[in-house]
Amino acid sequence: MFQTYLHRFTHLHTAANRTHWTEATCFRAPNKPLLLLAVLDQFAQGNVSGDLIELTPELGELFAGYWSRIMPPHRHGNIAMPFFHLRADRFWHLVARPGQEQALAALITISSIGQVRTVLLGARLDDDLAALLRQPEPREALRRALVETYFAAELQARLLEQGLVNVEAYRYGEELLAQAPPQVLKETPEQYRTAVRDQGFRRVIVSAYDHRCAFCGIRMLTIDGHTAVDAAHIVPWSVSHNDDPCNGMALCRLCHWTFDEGLLGVSARYAVLLGRQLAQSPNVAGHLLTLALRGRPIIGPGEQSLWPDLDALAWHRREVLR
């Protein structure tokens, strides 16, 4: 059975085009192999309950992480395309939402995440393949086969390393969640690599806030798995060495920079505070002022235990807010 799926993984129907793709991806579209690498990561994390693969923001971020390791910044991936077109490879079976069966049957292609979520519940793997992917040895053999078949030699170690970081970051994030809420903000053990720590903290915070900025409320996800928000430390890592989820907030890039610069803060009642310098000349703070942020409650996580620590917010007001 393993040999059957090894053959299918190494003979994916991928678009070949020497003008559009380079030697780095063996002159073929890398979308399907990268999506499968992300799926393998979810199995390695123990994050697939059955054999149904859903197009979640978490899967999108894994795909985007692989994409960014091998593609230049101006090239954008689209996870919706391989998610739909893997159906041609005989182990990936699309599952329509109730009432969408005819719509799925009529589709020739899908180009947006919105289409996928409207029409599909997800994709179901062959039972035998799902069973193999739950076992470390066949799963990692299939991972190596994907990397060695579809990517140039100089990229292979980079992609395998990304897989290790993804799994370690997930486990680190689960450890952070298991410790919440904290009795006292404490230093995080430093046995984790920086890349693992950063990604694990980010995954926990962005997911807890459902990809919404705690200040301005913006929530945007792209077809290549990117999100508009960062995971911002309240007391910076350089000061606290603390990745506790309660020492973080999801902030869009503008609000993150503004918070770090001390132009925004949060009160003891979880209301947004505006620093005096925000509106001073020559600043043109734009929507940060027109949104009437002053006094507005922050948008916190659904889980109460993950809300920002009040002592951390007090530190920020005392040490950073201008």
In this model, does residue 184 exceed pLDDT 50? no
In this model, does residue 185 exceed pLDDT 60? no
Give the chain's mean pLDDT: 90
In this model, does residue 189 exceed pLDDT 60? no
- Pick from 2, 49, 1: which is nearest to 144 by CA? 2
pLDDT band at 290 (very low <50, low <70, confident <90, very high): low
Which has more confidence, 184 or 219? 219
- In our burial notation (b when 16+ CB lie closer than 10 A, e otherwise), range 165-198 reads bbbbbbebbbebbeebebeebeebeeebeeebbb
Q: Where are the domains of the chain?
A: 2-168, 192-319
The pLDDT, as a whole number, for residue 49 is 78
Q: What is the pTM assigned to this prediction? A: 0.87
* pLDDT tens-place string over residues 248-259: 999 999 999 999
CA distances from 288 to 25, 36, 278, 285 (A): 43, 40, 9, 6
Which has more confidence, 134 or 225? 134
* pLDDT tens-place string over residues 197-224: 999 999 999 999 999 999 999 998 876 6
